[in-house]
Amino acid sequence: MALGYLALVLHAHLPFVRHPESDYVLEEEWLFEAIIETYIPLINMFEGLEADGINFKLTMSMTPPLVAMLQDHYLQEKFDEHLTLTQELAEKELDRTSTHGHLHYLAEYNAQCLETVRETFERYDGNIVRAFKKYQDSGNLDILTCGATHGYLPLMQMYPEAVWAQLKVAVDSYGEAFGRAPRGIWLPECAYYSGLERMLADVGLRYFITDAHGILYATPRPRYGAYAPIFTPTGVAAFGRDYESSQQVWSSEVGYPGDPVYREFYKDLGYEAEYEYIKPYIIPNGTRKNTGIKYHKITSRTGGLDQKDLYDPYWAREKAADHASNFMFNRQRQVEYLHGVMGREPIVVSPYDAELFGHWWYEGPWFIDYLIRKSHYDQGVYQMTNLADYLQHNPTQQVANPAQSSWGAKGFHEFWLNDTNSWVYPYLHKTTERMIELSKREPVDEKEWRALNQAAREVLLAQSSDWAFIMRTGTMVPYAIRRTRSHVLRFNKIWEDMNQGKVDTEWLEKVEYIDNIFPEIDYRCYRPL
Amino acid sequence: MSRRPQLPLEEMTLRQLRLVAQQYQISRYSRMTKIELIDSIQDAMRIAEAKQSFSRNPMEAKEQVESTKYRVGLGEPIVELDDVDADLGDLPGGYGESRIVLLPRDPQWGYAYWDISNEHKDHLRWQGGRQLVLRLYDVTDVYFDGFNAQNMNEYPCDEVAREWYIPIPISDRNYVIDIGYKTESGNFLVLARSASVEIPPVYPSDWVDDRFLTIPFDMDLRGKTFTSFVPPSKQRAAFEGVGFGGAATVVTGTHQSLLDYMAAQVAVGANPGSLFGSQQMVSGMGLVGAVPTSYSGIGLSGIGFMGASESFSVSAVPVRARSFWLVADAELIIYGATEPTASVTIAGKPIKLNPDGTFRFQYHFPDGFIGQPIVAVADDGEQSRSITMNFLRDTPVRNTNTKEEMVLETY
């Protein structure tokens, strides 16, 4: 009889990046790399577990922008091209390495992995959302939704209509993709503020996740810390993240991903290969970039890039199995202890960015696979569950008000509100105010209806918290700035035109084609509550 | 950190490569061939990149890893403008309407930005405004009308600023910020006022009141409220039997053990979250006395502590519409008299008597508890009299709107 639960939560998210108007946009490759290294390996993992008769339980969030991109034909085609190009490079590598035993072994391994990606992609006809839907329908995956464009809700709390729109549009788009209403939501960055629970209840959602101190600092004080969810006064449940299991995975210094036998992220063929050879496979203007083909292992946590030895997937896999055992062992001790103190079954909630597994930590999906299998076969202290199942079977919980918090650095909003990115908020707020104004209108004809809806799309896209995040981390900043500016300016044009009673149809068509997220959006979701 | 070259290295001339090598402080670059230069520079670029990402700051370990999903290339390729944006101009510097917005950053800091037209500023300066100030009001549990804040902090600011980081006096409360001018006589002329914003807490709550509910997973939660709490600061023993929140629980071993368990994780740096929690895990005092309560049964069927605002959405065919309004509020008047030469304090604060020894004070009476001990001491300091009156206001039902806010309701 299990003493408690472990709920692994994978948050899969990328901002909406789609540029049919340009020949080549590097940022579209965020999606392609994530598909090859994270999403398809996860699907393969599900298929393997299913084939072996393991009734696995996992919680995943799939954000509306990610789902929109995965279902978009243009991006599916671009991905196909990208994959073809990468496979071509992998083929060439087979030739290039034919005289070097170890390298050739790795080249064959890489080519084989890419072929598996191709097969999986084609098995679902290019739309891998179908795979995730399949495993939700079978009861294994609990797929959460998220804010419509991953907007940072506490920093728009003074505009409840904007928060409502992020939730409503998300819930509607989820229904179209997955054929049912979502039950749970991954709040963007787990950022919560008091009052959100009213809207979550009213949009039909049942539970969400906060960082540990969102529960720990709740009022009144939760009896069980963050190891049982609490019901907010509106009945919506809040789960708290477990610190302990987080650190073992996130920390690059002491966590699993930094182990010397694992594949080195920074040593990529795109940078190592001879220029003329690699030129067709990097950025068209000649600048080098990641190709996803790598041959080296980390070798040492402190060594330089020129001191990396060759990788061996066999040993890496063994190590992933070890780490899974270790993780499992720690969870067992944790659950035993908590059960003793609580006098009831604890639930340890371990959420991570999905893209951590496979992309940053190449062996990550193997780790999860081993963890699920070992938890299933080798122990009985805890059972792995997803959040929906847990609530179904445990409907009695303490009532309390969670505390405003996020899972960002330092636990609050600073990462998204600081010198690098505070400049966006005056524009976002003004845009929001104007959208609320616009929403009160009734369109006189179809063109106005389209313009109003497009205005809503522009507001949502501008609100992606990813832009502020990128500005703060310092990687690919110009792109984030450009996106913020574009969407605010496009919105402003519609606003100004509408105030003069006109619609620039030719321009509108172009923008509708580019910013085509949420085709079924209804701008009236911005109307005052 | 040097700027990344615009051209790919392989396309550069020897001279250009040497310049870049210098930027990256590559030793003996002048003796290298083109190929060697390109290799060294690339290594240096990647080491710099990797170093930047392996930030020493353990608080940001998670964010550094998360940012790798955006890492597909080193250089920053030239960013082209979409032609749909071509004629749209630039972001405006301001919008011409005076406004100020307050954002929460963390328990200790807020952030405010404002946009005030010069005409508006000039107008108030002409009315006597001298020093631009920010006023931060604690409006927790208050229906703010400009004068009834629980507390107020004033920060002078300079004319050129458009934004400010505001130190927050007490966390876990609601604040409004005004920007305006102080006149020489100490009056305040307001330019703009922000909406009320909640600042997060930084400690676990001292208040312990365990209540448990059973809510079936399939229950539709739209429009429903399951309970309401009155925090201990708003209760007194005398009111325990009445209405809400009277039952409180002692901090049990369980509460404390779990708090300590999580504090221990925080102490060993396992916490990527709250910066403050580790130092300040308060051992809760709770309210002593009452028996731990726990309720079960479906929360909705009259257990007795049903939430005040419970509304069920009724789907009816809208036929007619009408609108209505009601506003109501309360004020408290304290009045009395004593020897004109006495010193009087109310709730510890000295007050000024009228010449005939009378006094009369009228306050806004918000939700919550007001305790008003009044003490009068004779001018020789030898005799005194006192009276203490306590008031508790609660608003169990609020279904109001002003006339301006009326909306059509169907029926």
Identify whether the C-beta of residue A511 lies closer than 8 Å to the C-beta of residue A447.
Answer: no
- Lowest mean pLDDT of A215-229, A335-349, B397-411, name the range: B397-411
* Residue A492, CB-side half-sphere exposure with 13 Å CA sphere: 19
Whether B281 shows a pLDDT value over 90: the answer reads no
Give Cα separations from B395 to B98, B141, B142, B229, B346 (angstroms): 34, 11, 12, 12, 25
Residue A217 neighbours by CB under 8 Å, 6+ apart = A403, A405, B200, B201, B202, B203, B204, B205, B277
Q: What is the mean pLDDT of residues A490-517?
A: 94
Reference A43, options A153, A180, A148, A140; nearest CA is: A140
Tokens at residue B186, please?
A: 């100490």
Q: Say yes or no for a CB contact (<8 Å) between B63 and A507.
A: no
**What's residue B19's pLDDT?**
86
Give Cα separations from B387 to A311, B350, B369, B381, B391 (angstroms).
83, 15, 17, 18, 13
Pair A406, A154: CB distance under 8 Å: yes
Do the Cβ atoms of A172 and A203 come closer than 8 Å? no
Say which range, A75-84, B164-173, B351-360, has the weakest mean pLDDT. Answer: B351-360
Domain locations along chain B: 1-89, 99-198, 236-318, 320-411
| d(CA A523, nearest CA chain B) in Å | 20
Asked if A413's CB is within 8 angstroms of B105's CB, the reply is: yes
pLDDT band at A74 (very low <50, low <70, confident <90, very high): very high
Residues of chain A positioned with their CB less than 8 A from the CB of B197: 157-158
Q: What average pLDDT does range A82-98 have in this prediction?
A: 96
Gap from A206 CA to chain B (nearest CA, Å): 8
Q: Phi first, then psi: give them for residue B179, nearest 5 degrees.
A: -120, 140
Mean pLDDT of B370-392: 85
CB B79 within 8 A of CB B7: no
- pLDDT score of B291: 25
Task: Identify the top-confidence range among B217-221, B226-230, B258-262.
Answer: B217-221
B contact test, residue of A66, A219, A394 with most B CBs within 10 A: A219
Q: What is the pLDDT of residue A92?
A: 96
Per-residue pLDDT of B28-39, as tens digits, reads 888 888 888 888
Name every chain A residue with its beta carbon within 8 A of the beta carbon of B103: 155, 413, 417, 425
pLDDT for residue B232 is more than 90? no
Of A222, A246, A413, the CB nearest to B272: A246
Residue A178 to residue A50: CA distance in whole angstroms: 20
| Contact across the interface for A404 and B104, Cβ inside 8 Å | yes
Place of tokens 């809207």: A199
Provide the pLDDT for residue B296.
27
Note the pLDDT of residue B399: 79
Q: pTM of the predicted model, to two decimals?
A: 0.80
For A236, which of B212, B221, B296 is closest by C-beta distance? B221
Whether B172 has a pLDDT exceeding 80, the answer reads yes
Decide: helix, strand or coil at residue B122: helix
Contact call for A223 and B210, based on CB within 8 A = yes
Note the pLDDT of residue B305. 24
Question: Chain A partners of B104 at a C-beta cutoff of 8 Å?
Answer: 154-155, 157, 193, 404, 412-413
Q: What is the mean pLDDT of chain A?
A: 94
Chain B within 8 Å of A102 (Cβ-Cβ)?
no
CA dist A365 and A316 (Å) reads 12
Locate the chain B residue with the closest alpha carbon to A392: B217
pLDDT at residue B308, as a whole number: 27
Work out whether strand A207-210 and strand A184-186 pair parallel, antiparallel, or are unpaired: parallel
Looking at chain A from residue 391 to 450, which residues have their Cβ under 8 Å from any Cβ of chain B?
A: 391-392, 395-399, 401, 403-405, 407-415, 417, 422, 425-427, 429-430
Shortest CA gap B151–chain A (Å): 21
Task: Kindly list the residues from chain A whose CB atom is less than 8 angstroms away from the CB atom of residue B225.
Answer: 233-234
- State the nearest Cα–Cα gap between A51 and chain B, in angstroms: 30
Residues of B in contact with A224 (CB under 8 A): 254, 258
Pick from A128-137, A199-208, A382-391, B402-411: least confident: B402-411
ipTM of the complex: 0.90
- What residues does B336 pair with on adjacent strands? B359
pLDDT at B400: 80
Return the amino acid letter for B336.
Answer: G
Q: Are the beta carbons of B211 and A194 separated by less than 8 Å?
A: no
Contact A285 B78 (CB under 8 A): yes
Select from B234, B232, B242 the least CA-distant residue to B288: B232
Ramachandran quadrant class, B186 (left: phi over 0; alpha: psi -120 to 50; beta: rest): left
Give the pLDDT of residue A358: 94
Biggest CA-to-CA distance, chain B: 100
Q: Which two tokens stand for residue A151?
A: 């907007």
Average pLDDT, chain B: 74
For residues B169 and A103, what is the distance between their CA atoms, to the nearest angstrom?
62
Beta-strand pair B151-156/A184-186? unpaired
3-state secondary structure of B388: strand
**Range of weakest confidence among A481-485, B105-109, B247-251:** B247-251
Is the fold of B99-198 the same as that of B320-411?
yes
Q: What is the pLDDT of residues B345-362, one digit of tens each?
A: 888 788 888 888 888 877
Min mean pLDDT across A253-267, A393-407, B240-254, B327-341 is at B240-254
A233·B10 Cβ contact <8 A: no
Q: Do B203 and A217 touch (CB under 8 A)?
A: yes
Helix (H) / strand (E) containing B136: strand B129-138
Q: What is the DSSP letter of A160?
A: H
C-alpha span between A72 and A355 (Å, rounded): 20
Contact A352, A297 (CB under 8 A): no
Using a 10 angstrom Cβ sphere, with 0-12 exposed, 13-18 middle and 19 or more buried, the burial of residue B214 is: middle
Cβ pairs A/B, distance under 8 A = 350
The label of the residue with tokens 């508790």 reads: B392
In terms of pLDDT, which residue wins out, B311 or A447? A447
Give the model confidence (pLDDT) of A412-447 as tens digits: 999 999 999 999 999 999 999 999 999 999 999 999
How confident is the model at residue B78, as a pLDDT? 53
Residues B49-69, mean pLDDT to the nearest whole number: 70
Helices A313-342 and A364-377, axial angle in degrees (round to 10): 50
Amino acid B81: pLDDT: 56
Chain A residues inside the 8 Å CB shell of B69 = 14, 30, 33-34, 353, 355, 359-360
Which of B10, B36, B42, B62 should one mutate to test binding to chain A, selecting the residue with the greatest count of A CBs within 10 A? B62
pLDDT over threshold 70, residue B218 = yes
Put simply, the answer to whether A21 touches B84 (Cβ < 8 Å) is yes
pLDDT level of residue B75 (50, 70, 90 thresholds): low
The span from the CA of A251 to the CA of A475, in Å, is: 20
Single-letter residue type at B355: P
For B320-411, CATH number?
A: 2.60.40.10
CB contact under 8 A, B197 and A353: no
User: So what's the pLDDT on residue B323?
Assistant: 75
pLDDT reported for residue B245:
34
What type of residue is B73?
G
CB atoms within 10 A of CB A280: 11
pLDDT at A108: 96
Pairwise CB contact (< 8 Å): B62 & A201:
no
Q: Which CATH number fits domain B99-198: 3.40.50.1970, 2.60.40.1180, 2.60.40.10, 3.40.605.10?
A: 2.60.40.10
Q: Which of A272-276, A474-478, B67-71, B312-316 has the lowest mean pLDDT?
A: B312-316
| Whether pLDDT at B58 is above 60 | yes
Residue B73 has pLDDT above 90, yes or no: no
- Contact predicate A226/A398, CB 8 Å: no
Which positions in chain A touch B220 (Cβ < 8 Å)?
204
Q: In chain A, positions 201-220, which contact chain B (CB-CB < 8 Å)?
A: 201-202, 204, 206, 211-213, 216-220
Domains along the sequence of chain A with CATH: 9-76+123-250+329-410 (3.20.110.10), 417-526 (1.20.1430.10)
Q: What is the pLDDT of residue B303?
A: 26
What does B205-256 look like in DSSP terms, one character per residue?
-S-----EEE--TT---TT--------GGG--GGGTTSSSS----PPPHHHH
Mean pLDDT of A61-67: 97
What pLDDT is stored for residue A372 in this prediction?
97
In whole angstroms, give the CA distance from residue A266 to residue A308. 10
Q: B57 pLDDT exceeds 80?
A: no
Burial degree of B315 (CB within 10 A; 0-12, 13-18, 19+): exposed
